[in-house]
Amino acid sequence: MAPVRFRVNGKPLSVDADPSTPLLWVLRDHLGMTGTKFGCGIAQCGACTVHLNGDAVRSCQVPLESIADASVTTIEALATNGGAHLQQLWAELNVPQCGYCQAGMLMAAADLLKKTPKPTDEDIDGAMTNICRCGTYPRVRAAIHRAAEKAA
Amino acid sequence: MKGLLMQQDGAAGDLPLDRRRFLVSAAVVGGGMALGIGRGGAATGAGGKPVTGPWGPDAAQGSEFSPWIEIAPDDIVTIRVPQPEIGNGAMTQAAMTVTEELECDWAKVRVAFASIQRNHIEKGVYNVGFQGFFGGHSTEPDRMAHVLQLGASARERLKAAAAARWSVPVADISVKNSVLTHAGSGRTLRYGEVATEAARIVLPAEPARKPRSEWRLIGKSSPSKLNIPDIAHGRATYGIDVKLPGMVHAALMQSPVQGGKLKSHKPEAVLKMPGVRAVIVLDPAKTRGVPAGTKQAATFGFGDCQVQSAVAVIADHYWQARTALEALPVEWDAGSGAQWTDSAKIYAAASELRGKDGARTVKKAGDVATATGKRVVEGDYGTPYCENAMMEPLNATVLVTADGAEAWVPTQDQQQAYWTVIDETGLSPEKVKVHQTFVGGGFGRRTQADDVRMAVAIAKEFPGKPVKTIWTREETFRQGRYRTPITTQYKAVLDDATGLPQMIMGDVAYVGTRPSFMLPLGFSDQPYFNSGIIPNVRLTSANLPITILNGAWRAPCYNSHAFNLETFIDECAVAAGIDPLDYRLKLLAKWDKAWSDTLRVAAEKAGWGAKLPKGEGLGIAISCWPVANMHNNGSVIATVARVSVSQQGELRVRQVDVAFDCGSVANADAVRAQVEGGTMYGLNACLNEEMTVKDGAMVEGNFDEYPMMHMADAPVLNVHFEALSGHERMAIIGEAPTGPIQPAVGNAIFAATGKRLRRTPFRTQDLSWS
Ligand code: FES
Ligand code: FES
């Protein structure tokens, strides 16, 4: 198979690997971008969440062959894609514990706020299905509400 | 050609190997504005000649005041911390402690991981206090005193250096926010400007530390964790993120039945697959052992940290290794573990041992046979195998060469990891380096270094290249060191007049490969059995040793005992016709007031006593970790849960109120976060968690089979500080909340439905009512 060309964080690039390789491992292993995390590999945990053509997706479920010409945004570029205020709130509210799930949480939260600038608790429950084993859910919820207030 | 073709290189490229990339930056207190990231290259702000040592890459960029503290010309204070950052803020706490005495500018404080190899070479410079490298206890009193002293000493040396520069008495110099000021002239110097001279000064006597009453940071301020900006920008390096030149990747499969052996495999079937470099067989017989004449100092020993029979595939990329491993024909000899055809058989065999000959008496008071009373309460309680399920799957990266080994590990205890590498390779300690990374959750799973052991065993067979071994989620789940299953048969005879137990008998059975995880905490150490309130007590414990490996699971054993005991006590209260809160207050009347205070605060905040409609209920429970039979010890936690259960049996935990007494707190928000996290961890355990066994192997492999609560399931969670006693201890707080939440929810379900749940998880039980 020919190399697959796509953009990551605005940069055009091309990767030659097995077409079934999940985007998660393309990012982490072939491109050396390890901010996106491996948690389960089966779309359960959301640790691997990135934005694909502007929408949050679980990158462990996206094979390389499906992303020709696509545009991918990862946690490494969230700050320059409208997420800086969220990242700052994450520190202010001391949201992460171990932090491993938080890249995925932030990518999911940024997607939610883009589509629903004033989310209700139900909106948050519906959009934020990422798993956090450290139990940061109350703080993630608080930070999303705070971000919405600040943006208003 | 397979590989990477990059048109433009932005994100890729190997990071420097320098440990300094693990440095994390401080956030401005209050403002929350992130400062710069770690100090990348050697050129950054380093004016003075770095002090170097045998630990090489750990060498300082500034002037070392002690192995713990370094100050650079640009005022950056780097504090090297032996404990890892596993999410509890241990490193940030160490930085706060130093800052308290050093009077440096918090925005200029960085933390870095201390080197275990340096600790070895310099004879324990970091190993201060109880389990110096263990990820738990950041406010351990001996370590705190030591670090405060180092901060005070560095401050006085800075003052002495400034005094010498200005030829003025030291007494005329004051310090604040990394600035030295001369009282008479108003002249100032920054710490960085005199650090080189100051680091050389030897004080005639160590300065006195501030009295506790003058602390301005510890207990007063709640800075958020220093590594959060790096986490939030995807820059924090966890073990799984380590990148080294020439690194290859390994996928691992251990005998599905623990204790089984590899029977056969066909490496030729996969060796020609893309990227595959080698197929490796792992065998415990290949462990070389600590070199003769060297005394090993592994924190927990090696009993729970042996090579398991396994195969691994090494490939250029992880996905290639994993794909090839899945295609590898393998046959296993299950061994004796296959006799455990299902979980029920295990628990039945264990329960059979309770109270029988072989069982050990762990507590005895009075004579249980003398108790008289009309009301007898009896029940059989238990919790199953559970998996730690930290979000970062197990992994480690190891380079073994002819004359050395280096490991990059997300461990909860560098010292355990270090000695494990030495033991597996047979190299002398001087030739081994361990690099701590950030840890994507531990919960006990990363204490024993069995993960490090396996990764070293693989890398040893592929010398000269760094090998990163990543467990799949399924391998992580099915090769756990599980929560010890505990069942308890309790019996009480209640006094006819008071309703309190005249006697309690409790017979425990553990299922444990090794006795190291048969802890009586939350059981025989509870005040009920030690304050004299119950005249006749007999508690025993027995163990069923089997092939399935158990280990530390957040507050080991306590997390089960708390469920079993506090569910039983609730049943006693109901049988006595006494409110469960009042009943516990009566039972704790002869013990520290703090226990009763936590109960009262949690109950009051939760609206205890309100009349609720059927289908809604409040439940309460209390416990203390660790060691509850000493006064003013550990963290006492009282939890009240409010649940609703539909007639169809759908359970919803609506609100949880937690009150606690850990003595005093160093960083209130860090404590709050740990109470939240520990409570959520216990909540998920009682609602959802069970690893089941089939023919000796674990069944559940991923989160689709082992459910985790999501945001939508999380209750309102209130943490209350009003019960804090103010006792001087700053007790360990991450574990204790994991206990009481489980019986609190179970007791609330009883209050709501009349159904008494004596086993977890509740998810699998019928809660419907009419
Ligand atoms: S790793 Fe993709 S959802 Fe868990
Ligand atoms: S912060 Fe540790 S898993 Fe979410």
Residue that finishes a domain, picked among A52, A77, A102: A77
Domain of residue A37: give its range: 4-77
Same domain, A52 and A110: no
Do both B354 and B222 map to the same domain? no
Same domain (yes/no): A91, A140:
yes
The structure tokens listed for B182 are 């001369």
Which of A17, A52, A77 is at the close of a domain?
A77
Q: DSSP per residue over A91-109, as a string?
A: HHTT--SS-TTHHHHHHHH
Residue B81 phi/psi, 5-degree rounding, is -115, 125
Residue B94 has pLDDT above 50, yes or no: yes
Contact A34 B237 (CB under 8 A): yes
What DSSP designation does B226 have?
A: T
* Cα–Cα dist B595/B585, whole Å: 8
The string of pLDDT tens digits covering residues A88-136 is 999 999 999 999 999 999 999 999 999 999 999 999 999 999 999 999 9
Beta-bridge mates of residue B157: none
Distance CA B21, CA B27 (A): 17
Residues B544 and B630 in one domain: yes
CA of B270 to the centre of ligand 1 (A): 26
Q: Is 80 exceeded by the pLDDT of residue B30?
A: no
Cα-flanking dihedrals φ and ψ of residue B421, to 5°? -60, -45
Disruptive mutation site among B35, B96, B231, B437 for chain A (greatest number of A CBs within 10 Å)? B231
Residue B319: which of A21, A37, A126 has the nearest Cβ? A21
Mean pLDDT of chain B: 91
- Does residue B379 sit in the same domain as residue B401? no
Asked if B603 and B742 sit in the same domain, the reply is yes
Asked if residue B222 is part of any domain, the answer here is yes
| Cβ contact, residue pair B708, A106, below 8 Å | no
For residues B759 and B635, state if they share a domain: yes
pLDDT for position B514: 80
What residues are paired with B355 via a beta bridge?
none
| A135, A97: one domain | yes
Alpha carbon B217 to chain centroid distance? Answer: 25
CA distance to partner chain B, nearest, from residue A52 (Å): 17
Indicate if B160 and B89 belong to the same structural domain.
yes
Residue A118 buriedness (CB in 10 A; 0-12 / 13-18 / 19+): exposed
User: Taking CB atoms and an 8 Å cutoff, what residues of chain B touch A32?
Assistant: 11-14, 243
**Among candidates A18, A9, A66, A129, which has minimal Cα distance to B2?**
A18
What confidence score (pLDDT) does residue A132 get? 98
What per-residue confidence (pLDDT) applies to B21?
Answer: 31
Supply the DSSP symbol for B565.
H
Task: Kindly report the protein residue whose alpha carbon is nearest to atom 4 of ligand 2.
Answer: A132
Domain boundary among B212, B232, B252: B232
Q: What is the pLDDT of residues B560-590, one digit of tens each?
A: 999 999 999 999 999 999 999 999 999 999 9
Among B213, B232, B251, where does a domain finish? B232
Looking at residue B20, what is its pLDDT? Answer: 31
List all residues 6 or more positions away from A59 whose beta carbon is below 8 Å from its beta carbon.
Answer: A22, A23, A24, A27, A36, A48, A49, A50, A52, A72
Nearest to B441 among A8, A42, A98 (CB): A98
**CA angle (B513, B518, B521) in 5-degree steps:** 160
My answer on whether A84 and A139 are in the same domain is: yes
Structural domain including B595 reads 343-385+482-764
Same domain, B124 and B253: no
CB atoms within 10 A of CB B614: 13
Minimum distance, in Å, between the CA of residue A115 and any CA atom of chain B = 19
Min distance B249 CA to chain A CA atoms (Å) = 9
Task: Return the axis-axis angle of helices B741-753 and B668-688, rounded to nearest 10°.
Answer: 50
pLDDT, tens digit (0-9, with 9 covering 90-100), for B293-331: 999 999 999 998 999 999 999 999 999 999 999 999 999
Q: Is B391 in the pocket of ligand 2 (CB under 6 A)?
A: yes
- Mean pLDDT of the residues in chain A: 97
> From the CA of A62, how far away is ligand 1's center (Å)?
11
Query: Does any domain span residue B253?
Result: yes
Do the domain assignments include residue B466?
yes
How many domains does chain A divide into? 2
pLDDT value of residue B18: 34
CATH number at residue A147: 1.10.150.120
Average pLDDT of span B221-227: 94
Residue B22 belongs to a domain: no
Residues 6+ apart with CB under 8 A from B290: B296, B419, B422, B423, B426
pLDDT higher than threshold 60 for residue B27: no
- Residues B167, B211 within the same domain: yes
* Domain co-membership, A62 together with A25: yes
pLDDT band at B35 (very low <50, low <70, confident <90, very high): very low
Asked whether A133 lines ligand 2 (CB < 6 A), one says yes
Same domain, B661 and B683: yes
Q: Is the CB of A23 under 6 A from ligand 1?
A: no
Q: N- to C-terminal Cα distance for chain B?
A: 68
**Structural domain ending residue among the three candidates B425, B450, B470:** B470
pTM: 0.93
Please indicate, yes or no, whether residues A52 and A107 belong to a single structural domain of this protein. no
Q: Do B240 and A99 touch (CB under 8 A)?
A: no
Residues A94 and A142 in one domain: yes
Q: Do B391 and A22 touch (CB under 8 A)?
A: no
A90 and A46: one domain? no
pLDDT tens per residue across span B321-355 = 999 999 999 999 999 999 999 999 999 999 999 99
Is residue B49 predicted with pLDDT exceeding 70?
A: no
Mutate to test the interface with A, among B4, B83, B438 (most CBs of A within 10 A): B4
Ligand 2 atom nearest to CA at B391: 3
pLDDT digits (tens, 9 = 90+) for B260-280: 999 999 999 999 999 999 999
A22, closest residue in chain B (CA to CA): B319
- From chain B, pick out residues whose CB is under 8 angstroms from the CB of A80: none
| Predicted confidence (pLDDT) at residue B28 exceeds the cutoff of 60 | no
For B473, name the nearest residue in chain A, comparing CA atoms only.
Answer: A40
Q: Is the CB of A43 under 6 A from ligand 2?
A: no
Instruction: For residue B437, tell me if it sits in a domain.
Output: yes
Q: Is A98 in the pocket of ligand 2 (CB under 6 A)?
A: yes
Per the CB < 8 A criterion, the answer to whether B517 and B484 are in contact is yes
B contacts of A25 (beta carbons < 8 Å):
317-319
Query: How many percent of chain A have pLDDT more than 70?
Result: 99
Ligand at minimal distance from the CA of B677 is 2
Contact A12 B7 (CB under 8 A): yes
Whether residue B649 is found in the same domain as residue B534: yes
Q: Look at residues A51, A77, A103 and tell me which one is the last residue of a structural domain.
A: A77
Total tally of structural domains belonging to chain B: 3
- Which chain A residues are closer than 8 Å to B8 by Cβ? 11-13
Residues B135-174 as b or e (16 or more Cβ within 10 Å = b): bbbbbbeebbebbbbbbbbbbbbbbbbbbebbebeeeebe
CATH of the domain at B641: 3.30.365.10
Shared-domain flag, residues A94 and A131? yes
* pLDDT single digits (tens) A31-90: 999 999 999 999 999 999 999 999 999 999 999 999 999 999 999 999 999 999 999 999
Measure the CA–CA gap between B757 and B754, rounded to whole angstroms: 10
User: B35-57 in b/e burial notation, b at 16+ Cβ within 10 A?
Assistant: eeebbeeeeeebebeeeebebee
Counting atoms of ligand 1 from 1, which one is nearest the CA of B703?
A: 4
Asked which of B48-52, B173-177, B356-360, B450-454 is least confident by mean pLDDT, the reply is B48-52
The per-residue pLDDT for B24 is 32
* Residue B11 domain-assigned (yes or no): no
Instruction: Say whether pLDDT at B93 is over 90.
Output: yes
The mean pLDDT of B41-56, rounded to a whole number, is 29
B537: β partners: B365, B504
Give the rounded percent of residues in chain B with a pLDDT score beyond 70: 92
* Cβ-defined contact of B233 to A75 (cutoff 8 Å): yes
Chain A residue nearest residue B318, CA to CA:
A29
Tell me the average pLDDT across B519-539.
97
Q: Give yes or no: residues B506 and B368 share one domain.
A: yes
B119 part of a folded domain? yes
- Whether residue A137 has its Cβ less than 6 Å from ligand 2: no
One domain, residues A71 and A130: no
The 10 Å Cβ neighbour count of residue B255 is 25
Q: Which residue of A has its CA nearest to B704?
A: A44
Q: Counting atoms of ligand 1 from 1, which one is nearest the CA of A41?
A: 1
Residue B407 placed within a domain:
yes
For a ligand 2 pocket test, name from A94, A102, A107, A128 the mutation site with the most ligand atoms within 8 angstroms of its C-beta.
A102
Total beta-carbon pairs less than 8 A apart between chain A and chain B? 235
> Are A91 and A71 in the same domain?
no
Cβ(A28) – ligand 1 distance below 6 Å:
no
ipTM of predicted complex: 0.98
Phi/psi for B681 (5° steps) reads -65, -45
Which of ligand 2's atoms lies nearest the C-alpha of A97? 1
Closest to B224 (Cα-Cα) out of A71, A87, A93, A136:
A93
Q: Write out pLDDT tens, residues B423-482.
A: 999 999 999 999 999 999 999 999 999 999 999 999 999 999 999 999 999 999 999 999
pLDDT, residue A152, reads: 74
Q: What is the mean pLDDT of residues B47-51?
A: 30
The CATH number of whichever domain residue A49 belongs to comes to 3.10.20.30
**Are B184 and B247 part of one and the same domain?**
no
Residues A71 and A98 grouped into a single domain:
no
Taking only the tens place, the pLDDT of each residue in B625-654 is 999 999 999 999 999 999 999 999 999 999
* B235 CA to centre of ligand 2 in angstroms: 15
State which of A25, A40, A52 you would mutate to test the pocket of ligand 1, scoring each by most atoms of that ligand within 8 A of its C-beta: A40
Confidence of residue B515 (pLDDT cuts 50, 70, 90): confident
Q: Ligand 2: does its nearest atom lie under 6 Å from the Cβ of B232?
A: no
Q: Tell how far the Cα of A61 is from the centroid of ligand 1, in angstroms.
A: 8
A100 C-beta closer than 6 A to ligand 2: yes
B92 and B670 Cβ atoms separated by less than 8 Å: yes
Q: How far apart are the first and last CA of chain A?
A: 48
Whether residue B40 has pLDDT greater than 50: no
Asked if the model's pLDDT at residue B33 lies above 80, the reply is no
